[in-house]
Structure 1
Amino acid sequence: MEIYFLGTGAGMPSKDRNVTSIILNLLAERNTYWMFDCGEGTQHQALRSPIRIGKLEKLFITHLHGDHIYGIPGLLTSRSYQGGDTPFTVYGPKGTEQFILTALSLSQAHLSYELIIQEFDVSEETVLFEDEQFVVSLAPLIHRVDSHGYRIVEKPQKGRLLVEKLKQLGITSGPLFGKLKQGVDVTLDDGTSLNAREYIGPSYPGRVVTILGDTQPCENSSKLARGANVLVHEATFAEQKKHLAVEYDHSTAMDAARAAQEAGVEALILTHISSRYQKDEAELLVQEAKQIHDCTYLARDHWSYEVPRSKR
């Protein structure tokens, strides 16, 4: 599981940062990618990355400001040309369907796959999606328009097969490995019975990733991030511009750090950086956040973060 940043800027593109789009790389877990927001130029950013648009499975939209959605029509049509033939689901607040279908209709676009648009209107933390691998929940944040944050929880993972223990019995590979891994008891040719539970290590907790949309400091930021392995939080302004953060319903780097600290987050990643912080100037944001939460990173375009198993 890896987080890959296609765009990390706020409001409009700059020379160093495109507008917001984040990829959750789940190739190892389900052979797909999930995208969070899709600002203008996202498909161009993808061309300069290892991300394959044809393997996108889901798009989660935090809110309907242009710097988070203007790249969607182009992304959807390009997915048809890049081998995307499986269903694609877009989750977003009310208005998402109207925006997408209007753009596709007026441009006479034709998709080669099933497009599913699922709108939501929530007032508290709610489960949005769940299968045998993941649970995705969301909750409202505080911004000038309806904005939301997502909590992605990987379900507990089965323990690893104790291969060395099996090798001591002379079992080196083959279908017996698969059966035992699935929890099926097996009987060897000599009549020896193997209890699958004795050859599988202990299960371990899945990882938790929280990705927030634009927001001023609020209770739901910390709730969505509780105990997360990593929190991706906007840091549009430095503390000296706190008055602008308040005026435009955004957060400072220190606001993000306080949310991470309150939630007991292992790692904090700052993104959605104002264009006033170019190149080395953006390091000020990390320095401020580290005063509160030491394990803090500054995202930049085409930077990735491997989500580790919990250290706890």
Structure 2
Amino acid sequence: MKNVGVTYGGRSIDQELLSLKTPERLLKWRGNVEGSPDANHYSSYIGVLLKYPCWKHMGFVDFSDVSPELVTGLSVVEDYFHGDWWTEEDVRRVERESPDRLRLGQWNTIEATIRVNAQRMDRSKPDCRFHWHDELRAGIIFGAMLEKWDKVAHICSAVDAYTSPEYSAGTVVEEYYKWYLCIAGRLSNEWTDGMDQLMSGVRKCRQKRLRECVTAWEAAVAADQAAFNKTFPITIKSYVKKVDDPSKFEWVALDETVIGLIANKNGLSLPEMSEELKAPVMTRESLGLT
């Protein structure tokens, strides 16, 4: 296991942790949520599919090929943002045709599923709490790893400058979500209205780590190799020191992974870095896709 002993945020990867990372666990989690037209299950399914490339990259499980999960993940995220799976009509259809897919129980009733779906997905409602960030970021990674940038653009077109930041109870600064709206805007090439205002606020964010990420991303977007070589390692250094970071998922730095993939798209290469700094950044090479 290539990353045993590596420490991020004061916690090291050890054999006890690795013993919990098994294909059987993934299959069980996947079986609990796959195919369910429940918004919570849909998001969980995307997260489970993202574990496959992350675990392969980190050396937790020796998957020979995670391309099928990337393809499935890309399709599921695209449907998450642009499909009708969450509507009452579609949920009722599943109830008639494949009721087992609903995973109904004492507390998870058909009425509750329809209500929660509307609360999370119906953006025509002023009180909608649209969950978009984790799903969007996963979709960018799935598509970029497969070099399906047209699909990434389609996914990113589902949000714009007026999409509300997610509620995080203060655990994540609002500017972080606004930055991802700008990432989506750049990748979709469908809107610029409001981006300058968003970026003005993001650049002034009090959180140094976010400002560092934004600076590296801007170098990647500008295809400036010299600036990228200087700024990208800085973001990873701050990542490995931080105990709780919104970039962290299964020990992978997802924000830096997104930045790196965008840099590659624009013809840049990752700078020379130590093994410690390279370890959390997932790449096409680390997944055996090149």
TM-score normalised over the length of structure 2: 0.30
Higher relative contact order (CA 8 A, sep 6+): 2
Point out the structure with the larger helix share: 2
TM-score normalised over the length of structure 1: 0.28
Which structure's CA Rg is the greater one?
1
